[in-house]
């Protein structure tokens, strides 16, 4: 069914809550594992329908944040999601207390019970009002960013449209667009600070009510991190500082030299070649058509998947006024259908969407028939393996999109993945220290950002822009507001994706088989279990870094980038 034809009806919470409670009671009173499985299937139908309506409302609200109807529906789900969470926790407690747990474990695997156990540590009815407040503040942030209309060259533009100028070969144009974008955030600096301050306080209050020292451990449990902890992540960040940060610094210096600049400022980062950055060939429709060709050639599975997505209009890609910023993949569970949301802007980003978000969607498509909804997607760091690896497994098809600029694209893409890592771990360390010290003032938080960012990215220079020099950069990072601690996931996954890239250079068929096996597994195992299933080394293994970054460095040095 096409997305436009999917019917939306606001769920009746009284009916859902009553039905769920009755079903959970039936589960608890069941006399056999078989009976419990049957009840669980009925519960999944109920949960699936609620989640489908929530996803449809969320997507339509994202597509047009100015649509009053779906804005009200999003408010409805923000207000009622905590009640559904309460019911899920009741279900998880019943699962954990089942006298037939071992039989159920044999049928569904251990991960369902691991997820159930960790989830019960994240909720109590006493925090429902706090969760509503947290949801409301997150939506307020999204609306604020989506509302941006920046004056540039006599036109009013949203932030996504403005981003395209960051790659212009004319430095004056880049700087002007950069300053225009910063003006929106600087103008709303106090509002961003106030929203985040309230979020930190409500999350800390939730953590205290649940018996945690601070929000850090609760944040990890919310992310369902069952096989690693903050101490392991801290060691990982140090490995990035040791291996990725020096290569990133060298890449910035290399960029400065080939572009002939005396100094590289933040507004120069998007300018990679004086001959112009690689740009995708054709209209958005032509890019999608080339995506169809790419996925048809990649494998039978990817062909079936992308044909399904295009046929059913399960992609909303073009940037529009009032559209929420960013990109994501979600799922309409009743229809077993993934959905891709993005904002094309005429840069390499447009092709990255067809690989990154399509990687998420392909995994969902391959694992959509698991018996429990918990397995449709894995935990987030594992999800990002699918997306980031798809970006690099499709390198051989990039001539479809970039023609003579293909080498430029491959060089910039791999280099940008390295350059991201120091920023990614900076965002993570920043969040850890914020929630370990929740009484910081907004100015102290901004000063903390400056300190942490300088640690991992000492080359950063904002050319004296006061708002940025004082540490306002993180205001634009939606994850910090909407999804606390969901950022190191990209870094962990990137180390896994680099391994797929390395494998594919030696034996593409084996690399693809490992990737497909990973996608089919969905969320049926923990992060490190899925890493092992895919034949990858754990990103927490210090031994993975030196050979991997040596190979990346050698590959990038094989390009004569000064003559591109």
The tens digit of pLDDT for each residue in 333-344 reads 999 999 999 999
The ranges assigned to domains in the chain are 3-124
Q: How far apart are CA 62 and CA 488, in angstroms?
A: 25
Per-residue confidence at 326, pLDDT binned at 50, 70, 90?
A: confident
**Residue 156 confidence (pLDDT) above 90:** no
Strand 328-332 relative to strand 337-344, pairing: antiparallel
Distance of CA 435 to the CA centre of its chain: 21
Average model confidence (pLDDT) for the chain?
A: 95
Q: Tokens for 415, please give them.
A: 């280099």
**Residue 351 confidence (pLDDT) above 90:** yes
In this prediction, residues 45-51 reach a mean pLDDT of 96
3-class DSSP state of 305: helix
Per-residue confidence at 149, pLDDT binned at 50, 70, 90?
A: confident
Mind listing the pLDDT tens digit for each residue in 99-111?
999 999 999 999 9
Strand 150-152 relative to strand 315-318, pairing: unpaired
Q: How far apart are CA 84 and CA 51, in angstroms?
A: 10
Q: What percent of the chain has pLDDT over 90?
A: 91
Mind listing the pLDDT tens digit for each residue in 381-396?
999 999 999 999 999 9
pTM as predicted:
0.92
Mind listing the pLDDT tens digit for each residue in 197-244?
999 999 999 999 999 999 999 999 999 999 999 999 999 999 999 999
pLDDT for residue 159: 86
pLDDT for residue 150: 87
**Residue 299 confidence (pLDDT) above 90:** yes
Q: Tokens for 244, please give them.
A: 């990725």
Q: In the block, which residue shows the tokens 């100028």? A: 165
First-to-final CA distance of the chain: 45
**Across the strands, what pairs with 328?**
341
pLDDT for residue 161: 82
pLDDT for residue 345: 85
Mind listing the pLDDT tens digit for each residue in 403-434?
999 999 999 999 999 999 999 999 999 999 99
Per-residue confidence at 280, pLDDT binned at 50, 70, 90?
A: very high
**Residue 4 confidence (pLDDT) above 90:** yes
Alpha helices in 437-526 (DSSP H): 442-456, 466-469, 478-482, 488-506, 508-521
Taking alpha carbons only, the member of 463, 281, 488, 497 closest to residue 389 is: 497
**Residue 151 confidence (pLDDT) above 90:** no
Q: How far apart are CA 385 and CA 378, in angstroms?
A: 10
**Across the strands, what pairs with 420?**
none
**Residue 549 confidence (pLDDT) above 90:** yes
Tell me if 311 sits within 8 A of 342, measured CB to CB: no
**Across the strands, what pairs with 156?**
151
Count Cβ atoms below 10 Å from residue 546 Cβ, excluding itself: 12
Per-residue confidence at 84, pLDDT binned at 50, 70, 90?
A: very high
Tell me if 227 sits within 8 A of 529, measured CB to CB: yes
**Residue 170 confidence (pLDDT) above 90:** yes
In this prediction, residues 122-140 reach a mean pLDDT of 94
């Amino acid at each position: 069914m096409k997305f436009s034809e999917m019917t939306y009806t606001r769920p009746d919470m009284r009916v859902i809550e009553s039905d769920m409670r009755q079903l959970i009671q039936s589960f608890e009173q069941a006399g056999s594992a078989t009976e419990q499985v049957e009840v669980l299937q009925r519960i999944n139908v109920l949960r699936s329908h609620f989640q489908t309506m929530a996803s449809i409302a969320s997507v339509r609200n994202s597509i047009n944040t100015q649509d009053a109807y779906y804005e009200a529906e999003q408010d409805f789900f923000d207000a009622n999601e905590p009640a559904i969470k309460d019911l899920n926790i009741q279900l998880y407690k019943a699962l954990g207390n089942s006298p037939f747990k071992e039989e159920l474990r044999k049928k569904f695997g251990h991960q369902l019970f691991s997820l159930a156990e960790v989830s019960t540590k994240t909720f109590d009815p006493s925090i429902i009002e706090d969760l509503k407040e947290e949801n409301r503040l997150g939506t307020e942030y999204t609306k604020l960013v989506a509302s941006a209309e920046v004056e540039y060259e006599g036109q009013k533009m949203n932030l996504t449209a403005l981003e395209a100028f960051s790659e212009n070969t004319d430095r004056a144009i880049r700087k002007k667009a950069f300053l225009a974008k910063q003006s929106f955030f600087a103008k709303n600096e106090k509002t961003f600070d106030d929203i985040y301050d309230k979020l930190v306080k409500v999350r800390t209050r939730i953590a205290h009510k649940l018996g945690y020292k601070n929000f850090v451990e609760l944040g990890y449990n919310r992310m369902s991190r069952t096989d690693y902890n903050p101490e392991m992540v801290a060691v990982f960040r140090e490995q990035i500082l040791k291996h990725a940060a020096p290569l990133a610094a060298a890449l910035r210096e290399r960029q400065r030299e080939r572009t002939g600049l005396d100094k590289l400022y933040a507004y120069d980062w998007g300018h990679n070649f004086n001959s112009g950055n690689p740009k995708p060939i054709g209209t958005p429709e032509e890019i999608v058509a080339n995506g169809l060709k790419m996925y048809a050639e990649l494998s039978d599975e990817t062909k079936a998947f992308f044909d399904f997505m295009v046929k059913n209009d399960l992609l909303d890609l073009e940037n529009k006024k009032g559209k929420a910023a960013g990109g994501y993949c979600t799922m309409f569970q009743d229809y077993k259908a993934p959905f891709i949301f993005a904002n094309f802007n005429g840069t390499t980003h447009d092709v990255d969407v067809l690989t990154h978000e399509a990687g998420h969607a392909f995994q969902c498509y391959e694992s959509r028939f698991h018996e429990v909804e918990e397995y449709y997607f894995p935990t987030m760091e594992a999800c990002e393996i699918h997306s980031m690896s798809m970006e690099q497994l499709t390198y051989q098809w990039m001539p479809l999109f970039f023609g003579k600029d293909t080498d430029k694209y491959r060089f910039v893409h791999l280099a940008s993945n390295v350059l991201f890592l120091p920023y990614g771990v900076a965002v993570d360390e920043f969040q850890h220290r914020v929630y370990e010290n929740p009484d910081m003032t907004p100015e102290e938080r901004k000063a903390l950002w400056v300190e942490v960012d300088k640690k991992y990215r000492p080359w950063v220079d904002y050319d004296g822009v006061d708002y940025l020099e004082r540490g306002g950069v993180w205001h634009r990072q939606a994850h910090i507001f909407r999804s606390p601690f969901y950022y190191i996931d990209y870094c962990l996954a990137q180390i896994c994706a680099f391994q797929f890239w390395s494998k594919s250079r030696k034996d593409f068929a084996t690399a693809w088989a490992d990737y497909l096996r990973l996608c089919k597994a969905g969320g049926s195992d923990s992060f490190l279990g899925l890493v092992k299933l895919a034949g990858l080394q754990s990103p927490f293994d210090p031994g993975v870094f030196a050979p991997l970054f040596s190979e990346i460095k050698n590959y990038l040095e094989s390009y004569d980038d000064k003559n591109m």
